[in-house]
């Protein structure tokens, strides 16, 4: 098999897809190449008929595209679950994050709080509202541009606290991951994959999708901050 499989994905899954694509090329001889971008932008491109074989997005966004008929029927499947974590600029004091009161204190003491345009950002805004801090923090929230990691605002000095998928923060220079949100405030995001309806190589794309979600890929997923949901070997 030497036909290249192309894919589209959100930025949150770019690190893991880069590693898994290389793993599949080495072990199965299948060249795989994913192009990543902001989830909203990727969904727009799919609706406009972008040429690709596979799609990996947050579960809700992918389900909507499936309802609209953009995915090959029966191929959508959950792949990985990712925790949203807090991060601060490297070299600054690390706040406690053991209880909801710690989270509340960290939010209230931050001057600028960075979050993403993706599902983690939406969930964070919802959490802040649930904590009763929406009005207090409204002027401190800084949304990173689509496709830009929220952690990059820490490194540039535009924020002193950030929340995003662990996979998007662990390799950023100048950023220190504090850890997941405590207790009931924890935010998990499920990322799913599917074969696109207009794939030119649907059978091969199915095989690659199975490899992305396989149990043998779980170690690679874990190293990139995500837990595999695959059960196939």
Instruction: Give the helix/strand (H/E) hosting 7.
Output: strand 5-10
DSSP label at 157?
T
What pTM did the predictor assign?
A: 0.82
Q: At what angle do helices 202-212 and 14-28 cross, to 10 degrees?
A: 110
Q: Supply the pLDDT for residue 64.
A: 96
What is the domain range of residue 12? 5-81+191-228
Whether residue 63 has pLDDT greater than 60: yes
Question: Are 125 and 100 part of one and the same domain?
Answer: yes
Question: Are 75 and 86 part of one and the same domain?
Answer: no
Question: Are 25 and 59 part of one and the same domain?
Answer: yes
38 or 158, higher pLDDT: 158
Residue tagged 């690709």 (tokens): 52
Question: Are 173 and 88 part of one and the same domain?
Answer: yes
Q: How many residues does the chain have?
A: 233
Whether residue 21 has pLDDT greater than 60: yes
pLDDT band at 1 (very low <50, low <70, confident <90, very high): very low
Whether residue 39 has pLDDT greater than 90: no
Any domain includes 64: yes
- pLDDT, mean over the chain: 91
Any domain includes 128: yes
Question: Are 94 and 73 part of one and the same domain?
Answer: no
Distances (CA, A) of 113 to 16, 154, 158, 166, 183: 26, 9, 9, 16, 20
Number of domains in the chain: 2
Q: What percent of the chain has pLDDT over 90?
A: 71
Question: Are 174 and 95 part of one and the same domain?
Answer: yes
pLDDT band at 231 (very low <50, low <70, confident <90, very high): very low
CATH of the domain at 112: 3.40.190.10
β-strand partners of 227: 81
Q: What's the rounded Cα separation, in Å, for the pair 127 and 173? A: 27
Question: Are 90 and 76 part of one and the same domain?
Answer: no
Average pLDDT over residues 43-66: 95
Question: Are 73 and 134 part of one and the same domain?
Answer: no
Q: Supply the pLDDT for residue 208.
A: 96
Any domain includes 144: yes
The pLDDT tens digits of the residues spanning 206-220 come to 999 999 988 777 888
Any domain includes 233: no
Q: Dihedrals φ, ψ of 27, to 5°?
A: -90, -25
The pLDDT tens digits of the residues spanning 181-201 come to 999 999 998 999 999 999 999
Question: Are 112 and 174 part of one and the same domain?
Answer: yes
Average pLDDT over residues 217-230: 81
Neighbours of 2 (CB within 10 A): 6
Q: What's the rounded Cα separation, in Å, for the pair 206 and 202? A: 6
Give the strand pairing for 188-195 and 113-115: unpaired
């Amino acid at each position: 098999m030497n036909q290249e499989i192309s894919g589209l994905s959100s930025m949150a899954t770019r690190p893991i897809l880069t590693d898994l694509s290389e793993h599949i090329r080495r072990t199965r001889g299948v060249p795989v190449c994913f192009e990543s971008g902001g989830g909203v932008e990727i969904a727009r491109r799919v609706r406009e008929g972008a040429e690709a074989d596979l799609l990996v997005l947050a579960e809700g966004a992918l389900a909507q595209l499936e309802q609209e008929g953009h995915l090959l029927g029966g191929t959508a499947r959950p792949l990985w679950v990712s925790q949203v974590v807090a991060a601060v600029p490297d070299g600054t004091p690390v706040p406690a994050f053991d209880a909801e009161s710690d989270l509340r204190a960290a939010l209230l003491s931050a001057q600028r709080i960075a979050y993403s345009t993706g599902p983690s950002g939406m969930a964070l805004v919802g959490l802040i509202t649930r904590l009763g801090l929406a009005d207090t923090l409204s002027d401190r929230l800084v949304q990173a541009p689509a496709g830009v990691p929220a952690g990059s605002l820490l490194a540039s000095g535009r924020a002193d606290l950030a929340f995003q998928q662990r996979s998007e923060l662990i390799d950023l220079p100048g950023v220190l991951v504090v850890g997941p949100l405590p207790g009931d405030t924890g935010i998990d995001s499920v990322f799913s994959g599917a074969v696109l309806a207009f794939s030119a190589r649907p059978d091969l794309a199915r095989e690659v999708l199975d490899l992305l979600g396989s149990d043998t890929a779980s170690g690679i997923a874990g190293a990139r901050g995500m837990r595999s949901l695959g059960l196939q070997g």
